[in-house]
Amino acid sequence: MSYSGADIYIGVMSGTSLDNIDAVAVRFNQAGQVESIARHSDPIPQDIKATVITLSRGQPVSVTTLGELDRRLGECYAAAINSLLEHAALLPKHVAAIGCHGQTVYHQPSGDYPFTMQLGDANVIAARTGITTVADFRRKDMAYGGQGAPLVPAFHNDYFSDSEQPTAVVNIGGIANVSMICPDRPLYGYDTGPGNMLMDAWTQRHRHQAYDRDGEWAASCAPYQPLLQRLLSDAYFSRPAPKSTGREYFNLDWLDRQLLAFSLSPDQVQATLLALTVESIAIAIRPLKRGRIFVCGGGAHNQTLMLALQQAMPNWAIAQTDEVGIRCDDMEAIAFAWLAKQTLNHQPGNVPAVTGASQACCLGAIYLPY
């Protein structure tokens, strides 16, 4: 395959699930369509994953640990991008920019001094790849009073808008978020709560496996409704949008506190955690009665979860985003490629109605390779 000009963007994402670094090369055309060119995934080293979890749970680490983590993540992102370039026979000159989300290690969108921290030195990425890199997307939105998240609804609106019916785009990663795109009202969206994060952590604790494949363990038992209602009574779920959350809030410590009032088997808890993910998503979508839902992220592969979501939303047509041309595993990486394009073109990347920022703004910082 031959390439001409620097019209390709690479998006890089490692999310709250802490499983892989996903790098995706794409083109965007003027009709809002996406041409996927190549993708590559590298697993996140286990010691890096463990350090990120330590940070996200508020446990103290040394400045040396923090600095070395930033550098190591930058090297990991660069290696994934260079593998992608090699496999796709791409040269740096073919790529306009890399959009790298970085690895969130702490997200605190409220309080006297709100902040969010993503690590993965973009100077290293630009130097190792020879490609202009755009990173640090969230903090500009927060500087204008926003939550810094979610940022993907702007891209979802660009790609999925439909003048005929409401469309919900649901990303189920470690945290789940929803973008609501309606023909008769402004775009809105927010983090609905846990996606795969609690289910994965509970599976790791009790089965020593990375995750519950296809939700088979969760499907072996019925959700325990009193526990589900207790979990849903957490103030986060009733808080009005804009809102965002992460591993800092929804983690095993949070779950263990809720479980003190019950004596349940591990399989009952796992089934209830899946029901929590489904119900918290459904709460965000149900008020619109009917439409279509496109699911992306790792949760789209969980057959038990997808079936439960359809049962909870019987008036909605539910499908993976693969059916409209974007692999469900690539959605967030592609969104950050799109955000890099927005930045280079001096266009806004946030949606104030979604994040709560006082204005739309151009996001991210640009790191040159020279």
- 19: annotated binding-site residue? yes
- 16: annotated binding-site residue? yes
Q: Is the CB of residue 333 less than 8 Å from the CB of residue 24?
A: yes
- 22: annotated binding-site residue? yes
- 272: annotated binding-site residue? no
| Beta-carbon-side half-sphere exposure of residue 273 (alpha carbons within 13 Å) | 34
Contact partners, residue 227, CB within 8 Å, separation at least 6: 258, 259, 262, 264, 268, 269, 272
**Helical ranges in the chain per DSSP H:** 46-56, 63-87, 122-129, 138-143, 153-160, 197-207, 216-219, 225-232, 235-238, 252-259, 266-285, 303-312, 331-344, 352-355
**Dihedral sign for Cα atoms in the order 135, 136, 140, 146:** positive
Q: Is the CB of residue 190 less than 8 Å from the CB of residue 244?
A: yes
- 17: annotated binding-site residue? yes
**Dihedral sign for Cα atoms in the order 300, 197, 354, 14:** negative
Contact partners, residue 89, CB within 8 Å, separation at least 6: 1
- Using CA atoms, how far apart are residues 219 and 25, in angstroms rounded to an integer? 36
| Beta-carbon-side half-sphere exposure of residue 337 (alpha carbons within 13 Å) | 27
Contact partners, residue 193, CB within 8 Å, separation at least 6: 175, 176, 236, 237, 245, 250, 276, 277, 280
- 110: annotated binding-site residue? no
Query: Which of 22, 104, 13 lies closest to 57 in space, CA to CA?
Result: 104
- 20: annotated binding-site residue? yes
- 42: annotated binding-site residue? no
Q: Which residues are annotated as a binding site?
A: 15-22
Q: Which residues are annotated as a binding site for ATP?
A: 15-22
